Amino acid sequence: GESVGLHLPTLSVQEGDNSIINCAYSNSASDYFIWYKQESGKGPQFIIDIRSNMDKRQGQRVTVLLNKTVKHLSLQIAATQPGDSAVYFCAENMGAGGTSYGKLTFGQGTILTVHP
Amino acid sequence: DGGITQSPKYLFRKEGQNVTLSCEQNLNHDAMYWYRQDPGQGLRLIYYSQIVNDFQKGDIAEGYSVSREKKESFPLTVTSAQKNPTAFYLCASKEVLANYNEQFFGPGTRLTVL
């Protein structure tokens, strides 16, 4: 999972395996969470989001789980492919009501490497 | 195609010089943001703007300045007061009226101080 520090957590999986990336967020008042994927030298791309009134949301091959009791977020990627190799960031919106200016706080990131 | 563009992709600066990074969006978004990313780190917010002619400091605004004269443009100036400017700079935008939606990011500008 993500943590404070200069060395990003890493996850190595085989192609076809399921991947789970974890994130601990900091503010119990955060009401909106996003997962981004960032490939080397590029800007982050949106993967999936979830509001705090939900505990699970599914997309195409991805699922986000939210556990507000322990302030934990996870991203599950099914049938991981080499193209999924990237750094994955979670972000939390600390504003009440998904505040319009959308100020996000980002986690440190997790490096996912998928081996063919 | 709608999106966010940043230029230049790579930028080199001598110590003591100010440089300006460009960010343009044609998504008709009201809110725009500048982030800094260092190796092995997450994104840190420098400045953000919710509307034209208005902007707010983020968590690490010292040594940076911005302007928002047009809705589609939010340039960032890295001044000589920024002591460690070498980093990857990311611009983002967001629809303001819709809550609970994501920020869209540009491709980034890598700034290196020589």
Statement: residue A15 has pLDDT above 50: yes
Statement: residue A99 has pLDDT above 60: no
Cα B37 from Cα B105, distance rounded (Å): 13
CB B98 within 8 A of CB B31: no
- Chain B residues closer than 8 Å to A102 by CB: 31, 33, 94, 96, 101, 103
Residue B68: its pLDDT value, please? 98
Residue B1: its pLDDT value, please? 57
Residue pLDDT, tens place only, B66-113: 999 999 999 999 999 998 999 999 999 998 766 667 899 999 999 999
Across chain A, mean pLDDT equals 88
CB contact under 8 A, B43 and A44: yes
The confidence band for A8, taking pLDDT boundaries of 50, 70 and 90, is confident
A106/B contact by beta carbon, under 8 A? yes
Residue pLDDT, tens place only, A47-74: 999 999 999 999 999 999 999 999 999 9
Statement: residue A101 has pLDDT above 90: no
**Mean pLDDT, range A91-112, rounded to an integer:** 76
- Chain B residues closer than 8 Å to A107 by CB: 42
B95 CB-contact burial (10 Å; exposed 0-12 / middle 13-18 / buried 19+): middle
Residue pLDDT, tens place only, A18-53: 999 999 998 888 889 999 999 999 999 999 999 999
Say which residue, A19 or A97, is predicted with more confidence: A19
The alpha carbon of residue B10 is apart from the nearest alpha carbon of chain A, in Å, by 11
The confidence band for A103, taking pLDDT boundaries of 50, 70 and 90, is confident
Radius of gyration from C-alpha coordinates of chain B: 13
A96/B contact by beta carbon, under 8 A? no
Statement: residue A4 has pLDDT above 50: no
Could you tell me how far CA A87 lies from the centroid of its own chain?
9
Residue A3: its pLDDT value, please? 38
CB contact under 8 A, B42 and A43: no
